[in-house]
Homo-oligomer: A and B are copies of this chain.
């Protein structure tokens, strides 16, 4: 723990108001959206405005062996940016520059910009940044890179990683390294750019990102299919993905539908067991053809109602409903939020297994899914005032991850391991891959200063 004079030096080395040490003002930097009750109290918060500020902060922290927690918009769902007692929080909220280059179809962006702001800046030039976490209006692009965030478009357009062409990253010794650039193909040296994507602040602090952009997609045509049970919906998804590439393929189960309907009163079928929202952005006649094929599959698997619309606003209403799933279910109680994924053919087994876990533990689990990717979000609802229910929810939380692993799946498809899923990582990866993770971590952060306790326990110690 540094002495106060040391902290004075940090304050002196950075412009006024960059360093926050007032406990009240630091309160907003302790938690991410997972609201981890174990979040600590930072020593100071650096609201960096540049790569240089980050370098100054990191050098100071390294000198004094102070753990560094990097933080974007604080919308993480796995506790990956919860503060630790005595840590230095590096917030990127003030790093908000963006430059869109239509000639290379890329943008260069600082990490503090929101995903929606990146999308908007690209759209102003007729371009498109595809990755679209449901939280795209409140999550930062730096956080997206840190977790390799996904979203609804991934089923056709891939994840954040697929769009990161380059970056500047500050290492724990304060060196700023530039990797890659606005080049679609570049194999000079090891693939280090991709290594930092999804590293959750454990290897370095990303201060600038070069993103690939696409031309704007065509307006999507939407199909909404209602099923009496979730079984028919998951079976439809498995069949659709074998031969088709819809631009969206999302699932809500009955509990989610009801929670969203409680919030929106948009007229969703409260008796439905599941709902699929499917989009195609092919040229219109082909989109109709593709969605007719989707409809035929859904009918074969027992869909009771199928609605088509070419109207982008009408379609967007269903997509917006899907995006509301987490906040809607959150109204029912506190959430433990899963992000488990499986190979698509196991989707039915996963969803049915989750229902069994809910029943066994007597807890409500609503399921919403990026179904076309096999990536589901079982949302465990509990009352934190009810200790017994809380304990049962925690038991179920682990069981869902164990189920996903047993089905050849992953404990996290797009939210990151953070602190909350760390206990299950080794049983997914196995000892050899865990050892390899530790080796890379030790090579880049020998003293374990970067986001300690996130993803895995570092073998290095700050002390």
A interface residues, Cβ below 8 angstroms from B: 102-106, 126, 147-148, 150, 154-155, 158-159, 161-162, 171, 175-179, 181-192, 194-195, 197-199, 202-203, 214-215, 238, 241-245, 282-283, 285-286, 341-345, 370, 373-375, 408-417, 421, 425, 428-430, 432-437, 439-444, 455-456
Closest B residue by C-beta to A177: B432
B183 and A341 contact, CB distance less than 8 A = yes
Closest B residue by C-beta to A409: B183
Q: Could you say which residues of chain B place their CB within 8 Å of the CB of A435?
A: 175
B187 and A417 contact, CB distance less than 8 A = yes
The residue from B203, B214, B409 contacting A190, defined by CB atoms under 8 A apart = B203
Given A176-B432, A191-B195, A344-B103: A185 touches B373 (CB 8 Å cut-off): yes
Closest B residue by C-beta to A162: B162
Q: Could you say which residues of chain B place their CB within 8 Å of the CB of A182?
A: 343, 408
Q: Could you say which residues of chain B place their CB within 8 Å of the CB of A187?
A: 147-148, 198, 410, 412-417
* Residue among A370, A434, A439 with max Cβ neighbours from chain B (10 Å): A439
B341 and A185 contact, CB distance less than 8 A = yes
Closest B residue by C-beta to A196: B191
Q: Could you say which residues of chain B place their CB within 8 Å of the CB of A342?
A: 183
CA distance A181 to B430 in the complex (A): 13
A344 and B104 contact, CB distance less than 8 A = yes
B437 and A243 contact, CB distance less than 8 A = no
For the complex formed, measure the closest distance between the CB of A360 and the CB atoms of chain B, giving whole angstroms. 25
A428 and B344 contact, CB distance less than 8 A = no
Given A162-B158, A181-B408, A183-B343: A199 touches B188 (CB 8 Å cut-off): no
For the complex formed, measure the closest distance between the CB of A228 and the CB atoms of chain B, giving whole angstroms. 24
The residue from B183, B242, B283, B344 contacting A410, defined by CB atoms under 8 A apart = B183
CA distance A214 to B244 in the complex (A): 9
Closest B residue by C-beta to A181: B408
A436 and B177 contact, CB distance less than 8 A = yes
The residue from B202, B414, B430 contacting A178, defined by CB atoms under 8 A apart = B430
Q: Could you say which residues of chain B place their CB within 8 Å of the CB of A179?
A: 433, 436
For the complex formed, measure the closest distance between the CB of A154 and the CB atoms of chain B, giving whole angstroms. 6
CA distance A215 to B290 in the complex (A): 13
12 sample A-B contacts, Cβ–Cβ < 8 Å, listed by A number: A103-B344, A159-B185, A171-B436, A185-B341, A187-B414, A188-B410, A188-B417, A189-B428, A189-B456, A190-B198, A190-B199, A192-B436
Q: Could you say which residues of chain B place their CB within 8 Å of the CB of A440?
A: 190, 192, 195, 440, 443
